[in-house]
Structure 1
Amino acid sequence: MDKLEERVKELHKLLYDYGYAYYVLDDPIVPDAVYDQYLNELITLEEQNPNLILPDSPTQRVGAVVSEGFQKVTHTNPMLSLSNAFNEADLRDFDRRIQGIIDESPKYVCELKIDGLAVSLLYEEGRLVRGATRGDGTTGEDITTNIKTIRAIPLRLKDPVTLEARGEAYMPKPSFVKLNEERTERGEELLANPRNAAAGSLRQLDPKMAASRNLSMFVYGMGGDGEEQNIEQHSEALKFMKAQGLPTNKETKECASIEEVLAFVEEWTAKRNELPYEIDGIVIKVNDYAQQEELGFTAKSPRFAIAYKFPAEEVVTTILDVDLTVGRTGVVTPTAILEPALVAGSTVQRATLHNEDLIREKDIRIGDRVIIRKAGDIIPEVVSVILEERNGTEIPYEMPTNCPVCDSDLIRVEEEVALRCVNPQCPAQIQEGIYHFASRNAMNIEGLGEKVVEQLFREQLIRDVSDLYKLTIEDLVKLERMGQKSATNLVTAIEASKTNSMERVLFGLGIRHIGEKAAKILAETFHHFDALMNATKEELTAIFEIGDKMADSLVTYFEQEEVQQLIVRLKEAGLALQYTGKIVDMSLLEDSPFANKTIVLTGKLLQLTRPEAKEKIEALGGKVAGSVSKKTDLVIAGEEAGSKLEKATSLGIEVWDEQKLLDHLTD
């Protein structure tokens, strides 16, 4: 055991050092494969020896689901916002005000203003104990479970120091593009910018979802004045936090005068698009803490700091045409084809028009001169039409009544703005559907990208997902840029996908309203496709998380003869089509008071953690839900139970205290 403990400590240090080099120094010292090798070794050791798992282990980044929302946190010192500057004159006025208050000429620190979400990190004796949002500056939300999923944030500092680090959590540009691509596949509205995406990710109640968003962070200051660490300048604080393993931004500069500040601002106004993350300005701070204290605060912001905001970059160009694309769910999306224009560092030739209503609202016509910009500097969009430049040759655009790919009628579903092609045999939908089926969160068929699907479809090698399982190496090597090794790997990946659990197949089929979570719930409930296909709407809606829309969608989908034939072909191809996760044998739980019941936990439990209680109830056949409704059978109310207890009482639902729960768990 001593040797195991030593090896675990050794792995901790290796992984922390590798993470420090990667995220803080921006200078990786080992390949990703080496990091993964050591991480997997640690995971194995901890699985075999749970007593060796520490809260700050590199494996403990994704915790339990937050079941009742985020708790409020009061900041020890307020997280104030900064006043803004929009031009050189504003910055010179800022410098002039500083010079008028303090005796010595100030020195400044310039930092890139990251476009993300302000958060604070509290470390006690070197261990991360809390992550919180800025909120209103005085009160934020405890998002520790999600903060831990950000790999750039160390769970343990180099030294056992106590400090509060403040910074900006953000979504890198590649992660943002990937997220919107996934939302497009699901027919969901695109996120406007990485800032909103980061904020939304950190407020996910499921840490696994937050982890999948691949966020990062830069720290820009400490919550205190640095007295405990004997720090006298902001630049020293940044160096101290970096030495402790916290990620600081390398593009930071100490400036001896306002002229140097202006030069830095000019430099990064020109270079901002070269960065792999979004910035929306430059933050300028007086470097000396004593001078900061002398300058003090206004009611809303510190006098010693200011945020220079970049002007929004908008460009004028011409709409040459409107193109239509058909997504996996049949949504038809209009896209403006533009005269090429340079926007925010890249050439733009296409811009989303979102839907028919937006085209009408902005009166967008082919031939119009329009103002375009990149939403969040990434997604090109049409801001407005320059009506004064119309000459009468512009052509009003009308959305078609038929699908641009298969010519089927387009319909507008009630309460939706999108037009849809509802032909299940539409080639565009089939291709998008196959690509979705192969995606990572569905069947995870590595190597089956969008271009390969397009080639396979064009060569008439596939017409639906079942055809994937007929492909041979000989078929694939005939494709452009597909060698023997790639073909072999793809066939191997397709073959391996046959053993996937039922929920992956279900999600991969792309049934409307059925996402990953719903697919998992359905698989856990019905265990096999045959049972699910024969389920009635009443049986489906009896499941706590499945509503009328989901149930109607499932029943309608499985009623289609072509779908039934598809499932038969998948069976014949060798797919398991059954749930391979843990299944509770209800026949062994006839006497369990929790069997087949929906239970809600609320309030503070003293003898069990919430995850422990949930695990024990589910092991005895119960289903733990997050909210109280008419479908709830039982509520377990701990101390300080609030609105959920009130609702349970009003609905006449049985309520137990924690002791009664413990009594039944030990019966």
Structure 2
Amino acid sequence: MTTLTAAQALSSTSGPAALSGRSEYEAALRRLREASQAYYGDGDSAMDDAAYDRLRLALLAWETENPSEVAPGSPTTLVADGAAPAGDVAHTTRLLSLDNVFDAEGLVAWGASVERRLGRAPAGGFTVEPKIDGAAVAARYRGGRLVRIVTRGDGSQGEDISHVIGQIDGLPEQLAGEVTVEVRGEVAFTQEQFEAANTVRVAHGAPVFANPRNGTAGTLRAKDRPYRLRMTFWAYGAVELEGVPFLPAGATHTDALAAVAAAGVRTTAAAGAGLHIVDDLAGAQQRVDAIAAMRAELPVGIDGVVIKLNDTAEQEAIGSGTRFPYWAIAVKLPAVERQTVLEDGVGGRPHRRPGPDRGARPGRDRRLHRHPGHPAQPRRHPPPRPPHRRHGDGVQGR
């Protein structure tokens, strides 16, 4: 839904100059692909969220103004910007990303697009929930037993990461009932788990994780570590698996998450900011502001707030595109700085969690950590380098 001009896309914040021709467009494409590949390939990118978003907006603006010159396979047209490892496990239904807006004006514009597609104002209200800064996965339960976990991948296929079954709080290996369903959500380190993970890594002589988001991405794909790290899951949706009914006809988004929670799986309603139903987008904006205000104190990192139509019939009427559903939107939030202390594995000396230097060792430097997933300056040694960015997601993604 982003149709800003290049100048508008970049006018409110510092960043690359508006793209003025084909050569600049192609150079920007290369930069975005490289950043996406680093982020989705190994969970580690030298480009922070804000810079990535500005670059992507500039590309979108140029492509909007020059539709006949859009490069085939442009990352702006693909789930996960076309860079996530696709894997070989087919998704039950497509696991899409979310479109983004960055302010109240963008939220109003999204609301107008919803009304155009629906032909009227939504009658079922909107839900507002935190956008967990983690990695999107689909978890499949058969007869109440967790049998497979799959990454989002390219939206159609993902990687089998079932080796992490048993490592994820909120995603039990066995449910109370014999439920068959696919639960979708985000896996992330809580702040407490992140610090514990880095303590374990120090004890094993491994470099500390730069930030929770990068640590989660690496941990989900790791198969040969001599230690296991705890993570946490928050569900944001569910789909029927193999035709087995899970929800009654007419169930809303909040009904679905309530059923998932009743089955024993943690949902975004338990993420600290809660899951709220509002009548209109004015109420949604109030919740966005409230969540932004409490964000630094939440137990897990969030990088935005997700707003959805609550009525699933209205969701189906509006539909989805190739990358994201038209009935949901993510309001992105700026990075928040948080400084935490870990214990040095030698002598118990405190040290600051490092920023983007992957080989940084505890006790040798002192840095501020931008939470979630964005290390920030200032820091003493070594000289500053660009911060890492977050990323990842399902219908709750970048």
TM-score of the superposed pair, with normalisation by structure 1 = 0.38
In the alignment, structure 1 residue 277 sits paired with structure 2 residue 294? no
Cα distance in structure 1, aligned partners of 2:354 and 2:292: 26
Partner of 1:76: 92
Contact kept? 2:303, 2:372, Cα under 8 Å: no
Inter-CA distance 198–89: structure 2 relative to 1 (3 Å threshold): same
Q: Greater shift after overlay, 130-139 or 253-262?
A: 130-139
Inter-CA distance 93–117: structure 2 relative to 1 (3 Å threshold): same
Please report how far the alpha carbon of residue 257 of structure 1 lies from its aligned counterpart in structure 2 after TM superposition. Answer: 0.6
Structure ranking higher in helix proportion = 1
Partner of 2:59: none
Cα distance in structure 2, aligned partners of 1:207 and 1:230: 43
Given candidates 255, 264, 270, the residue that maps to 1:245 is 264
Partner of 1:294: 317
Inter-CA distance 299–168: structure 2 relative to 1 (3 Å threshold): same
Partner of 1:59: none
Cα distance in structure 2, aligned partners of 1:282 and 1:100: 23
In the alignment, structure 1 residue 189 sits paired with structure 2 residue 207? yes
Given candidates 87, 101, 114, the residue that maps to 1:98 is 114
Please report how far the alpha carbon of residue 294 of structure 1 lies from its aligned counterpart in structure 2 after TM superposition. Answer: 0.8
The one-letter code matched in structure 2 to 1:78 is R
Please report how far the alpha carbon of residue 222 of structure 1 lies from its aligned counterpart in structure 2 after TM superposition. Answer: 1.0
Cα distance in structure 1, aligned partners of 2:187 and 2:320: 25
Question: Considering only aligned residues, what root-mean-square deviation do their CA atoms show, in Å?
Answer: 3.6
Q: The residue matched to 2:268 in structure 1 has which SS? A: coil
Inter-CA distance 398–175: structure 2 relative to 1 (3 Å threshold): closer
Contact kept? 2:194, 2:212, Cα under 8 Å: yes
In the alignment, structure 1 residue 205 sits paired with structure 2 residue 245? no
Contact kept? 1:149, 1:207, Cα under 8 Å: no
Cα distance in structure 1, aligned partners of 2:286 and 2:113: 20
Contact kept? 2:137, 2:187, Cα under 8 Å: yes
Partner of 1:403: none
Contact kept? 1:120, 1:166, Cα under 8 Å: yes
Cα distance in structure 1, aligned partners of 2:214 and 2:356: 18
Inter-CA distance 290–180: structure 2 relative to 1 (3 Å threshold): same
The one-letter code matched in structure 2 to 1:264 is R
Inter-CA distance 162–310: structure 2 relative to 1 (3 Å threshold): same
Gaps of 5+ in 2: 1-85, 339-343, 361-366, 384-398
Please report how far the alpha carbon of residue 157 of structure 1 lies from its aligned counterpart in structure 2 after TM superposition. Answer: 2.7
Cα distance in structure 2, aligned partners of 1:353 and 1:124: 41
Partner of 2:69: none
Partner of 1:374: 369
Q: Deviations over 1:147-169 (max 9, x none)?
A: 23324212233332321110111
In the alignment, structure 1 residue 168 sits paired with structure 2 residue 186? yes
Q: How does 1:431-580 map to 2 (within 5 A)?
A: none
TM-score of the superposed pair, with normalisation by structure 2 = 0.61
Q: Deviations over 1:264-322 (max 9, x none)?
A: 1000111011111111111111111111111111121100011111112479xxxxxxx
Q: Deviations over 1:77-104 (max 9, x none)?
A: 1100000111111111111111222234
Please report how far the alpha carbon of residue 146 of structure 1 lies from its aligned counterpart in structure 2 after TM superposition. Answer: 0.8
Partner of 2:44: none
Q: Deviations over 1:215-269 (max 9, x none)?
A: 1111110134996521421111011111111111331111111011101100011
Cα distance in structure 2, aligned partners of 1:161 and 1:314: 41
Cα distance in structure 2, aligned partners of 1:398 and 1:171: 26
Q: Deviations over 1:36-75 (max 9, x none)?
A: xxxxxxxxxxxxxxxxxxxxxxxxxxxxxxxxxx973110
The one-letter code matched in structure 1 to 2:293 is A
Please report how far the alpha carbon of residue 145 of structure 1 lies from its aligned counterpart in structure 2 after TM superposition. Answer: 2.7
Contact kept? 1:125, 1:160, Cα under 8 Å: yes
Partner of 1:481: none
Contact kept? 2:142, 2:178, Cα under 8 Å: yes
Inter-CA distance 181–157: structure 2 relative to 1 (3 Å threshold): closer
In the alignment, structure 1 residue 214 sits paired with structure 2 residue 224? no
Partner of 2:328: 305
Q: The residue matched to 1:129 in structure 2 has which SS? A: strand
Cα distance in structure 2, aligned partners of 1:135 and 1:353: 27
Cα distance in structure 1, aligned partners of 2:232 and 2:260: 16
Given candidates 144, 149, 160, the residue that maps to 1:126 is 144
Cα distance in structure 1, aligned partners of 2:260 and 2:205: 42
Given candidates 158, 164, 169, the residue that maps to 2:176 is 158
Q: Deviations over 1:434-482 (max 9, x none)?
A: xxxxxxxxxxxxxxxxxxxxxxxxxxxxxxxxxxxxxxxxxxxxxxxxx
User: What is the number of residues matched between the two proteins?
Assistant: 276
Partner of 1:144: 162
Q: The residue matched to 1:137 in structure 2 has which SS? A: coil
Contact kept? 1:117, 1:169, Cα under 8 Å: yes
Given candidates 153, 159, 181, the residue that maps to 1:135 is 153
Q: The residue matched to 2:284 in structure 1 has which SS? A: helix
In the alignment, structure 1 residue 180 sits paired with structure 2 residue 198? yes
Q: The residue matched to 1:131 in structure 2 has which SS? A: strand
Cα distance in structure 1, aligned partners of 2:382 and 2:163: 48
Percent identity among equivalent residues? Answer: 34
Q: The residue matched to 2:168 in structure 1 has which SS? A: coil
In the alignment, structure 1 residue 117 sits paired with structure 2 residue 135? yes
The one-letter code matched in structure 2 to 1:235 is T
Q: The residue matched to 1:93 in structure 2 has which SS? A: helix
Partner of 1:254: 277
Q: The residue matched to 1:160 in structure 2 has which SS? A: coil
Inter-CA distance 299–179: structure 2 relative to 1 (3 Å threshold): same
Q: The residue matched to 1:101 in structure 2 has which SS? A: helix
Please report how far the alpha carbon of residue 377 of structure 1 lies from its aligned counterpart in structure 2 after TM superposition. Answer: 4.2
In the alignment, structure 1 residue 264 sits paired with structure 2 residue 287? yes
Q: Which has the higher contact order (CA 8 A, sep 6+)?
A: 2
Inter-CA distance 197–351: structure 2 relative to 1 (3 Å threshold): closer
Contact kept? 1:109, 1:252, Cα under 8 Å: yes
Gaps of 5+ in 1: 1-69, 316-325, 330-334, 336-349, 359-371, 386-396, 400-667
Inter-CA distance 378–137: structure 2 relative to 1 (3 Å threshold): closer
Cα distance in structure 2, aligned partners of 1:327 and 1:145: 28
Contact kept? 2:296, 2:336, Cα under 8 Å: no
In the alignment, structure 1 residue 235 sits paired with structure 2 residue 254? yes
Contact kept? 1:73, 1:140, Cα under 8 Å: yes
Q: How does 1:624-663 map to 2 (within 5 A)?
A: none
Inter-CA distance 264–140: structure 2 relative to 1 (3 Å threshold): same
Contact kept? 1:113, 1:283, Cα under 8 Å: yes
The one-letter code matched in structure 1 to 2:155 is G
Cα distance in structure 2, aligned partners of 1:189 and 1:354: 11
Inter-CA distance 223–173: structure 2 relative to 1 (3 Å threshold): same
The one-letter code matched in structure 1 to 2:109 is D
Partner of 1:441: none
